[in-house]
Amino acid sequence: MNNTLKYLGVGFVGGMIPFAFGFLLSSNYNTPLSEQVIDGDRVAKTVSYNGMPVEGSTSFVEASENTINSVVHVTTKVVRTQVQRDPFYEFFYGPGTGGREFKQYGSGSGSGVIVSSAGYIVTNNHVIQDASEIEVILNDNSKYTATVIGTDPSTDIAVLKIDAPGLRPISIGNSDDLRVGEWVLAVGNPFNLTSTVTAGIVSAKARNINLLSDRTRNTNVPIESFIQTDAAVNPGNSGGALVNTKGELVGINTAIASQTGSYTGYSFAVPVNLVNKVMRDIIDFGVVQRAYLGVQIADINQEIKEKNKLPSTKGVFISSVTENGGSEKAGVKQNWVILKVGAKEVNSVAALQEEIGKRRPGDKVNLTLRTEDGSEVIKEILLRSADGETALKSKEEMSKTAALGGTFAELTSKEKKELNLSFGVKVKTLEPGKLKSSGLSEGDIITKVNQTQIESVEQLTRLLNSAKGGVLLEIASESGKKEYIGFGL
């Protein structure tokens, strides 16, 4: 695709946009949302929609009326702090001294969707990222200050909460039931035009638009399995609702393909079945419980088909199997082909990632696979987290090893000896966040934070998670050279 892919937020709208996904579904997700409870309040009813044929002239009045009061306008104020180092001062007084802070002020705008009468709102992470203040404006123009319950950059989903009476949560549909060619509506606030409704059709499903190709080196591989539509959306629609003709939420509008920054015919939404899982995790655990099959996969093109003597391009090719992962433990082999997840056929990486993305660590899933000799087998896979665990973790537990988009690991005795270090912590993985944007890399060794010597992972994460203003990291490279990275919070 030659067009530039852009987020739909007003304010800080850049060129190429980062974002993505990956999740899980345990057996309790079979419970209809009408029976799920958030903080004692029932959330919007889940309705399975199989797509009704449209006859004659189509009216979207009912769908619009059922939706418009459930979509909100989200505005943000952002204060960015940067630390400028003074090399001359540091020469005399040491690294990290003499730094000056500079503040930059800005604002942003997007949309959100009310999903619970208790005040929970789903939006895009990029709409509220780095915001110091978040305000939600309802369709009746009443305004409320919102708090962030949690975010998931890997899916570009965030959950907010407001304290307001008489909220009208949207009805939740089933994105799996959407069909290409089905009518959908996009509801949001483009260019700050409140409560705008546009119509189009589903152009494609499980669309991978390579929006996060620069992040594929990370452990947490994003899921790109968007609903593509031709409903007109523009900057400001980010976080708004994609609904079917009954007014049931089927996706969260997130990105457009454009060379100008405005709508040119293509828009992309995160499927609501993924959104629902992420939302539930954030509300219930404070973090997303992401699971993995334990394989490296690829779409089957003609080259892979011929090289591996495959009978067709159907399925998803397994290029490698992760050591000690769920698939290896179940006996899955390299060069096999995944044909089905449960009863559902998968013919692309995006479709497979979406299916696994609805599940959690500890869930079991049956894969139908074609072996190298052409026979089909079914393997039950126990899904695991990135750390190889099957147990779910709380936000408090995860915060002990994660901060500012990074996860960390203790140095082994061998590593300390090779690096001639007696202290320090290694960067294990990096997702979008302050650490990655400041130039930190996976494998770097953090030895000091603001002149404090780092002795453990828990100490490092505690310092980073509680830091305010400027942060200066001392980094030790493999060559033994020390470098310094500074950034503001």
Of 126, 152, 171, 281, the active-site residue reads 126
Partner residues linked to 72 by β-bridges: 112
Of 238, 258, 348, 385, the active-site residue reads 238
Concerning whether 156 is annotated as a catalytic residue, the answer is yes
Token pair 């869930």: residue: 363
Of 26, 109, 152, 156, the active-site residue reads 156
d(CA 424, CA 445): 6
Q: HEC string of the chain? A: CCCCEEECCECCCCCCCCCCCCCCCCHHHHCCHHHCEECCEEECCECCCCCCCCCCCCCCHHHHHHHHHHEEEEEEEEEEEEEECCHHHHHHHCCCCCCEEEEEEEEEEEEEEECECCCEEEEEHHHHCCEEEEEEECCCCCEEECEEEEEECCCCEEEEECCCCCCCCCEECCHHHCCCCCEEEEEECHHHCCCEEEEEEEEEEEECCCCCHHHCCCCCCCCCCEEEECCCCCCCCCCCEEECCCCEEEEEEEEEECCCCCCCCEEEEEEHHHHHHHHHHHHHHCCCCCCECCEEEEECCHHHHHHCCCCCCCCEEEEEECCCCHHHHCCCCCCCEEEEECCEECCCHHHHHHHHCCCCCCCEEEEEEECCCCCEEEEEEECECCCCCCCCCCHHHHHCCEECCEEEEECCHHHHHHHCCCCCEEEEEECCCHHHHCCCCCCCEEEEECCEECCCHHHHHHHHHHCCCEEEEEEECCCCCEEEEEEEC
Concerning whether 238 is annotated as a catalytic residue, the answer is yes
d(CA 109, CA 12): 9
Token pair 């007003």: residue: 10
d(CA 379, CA 327): 8
d(CA 481, CA 420): 11
Catalytic residues: 126, 156, 238
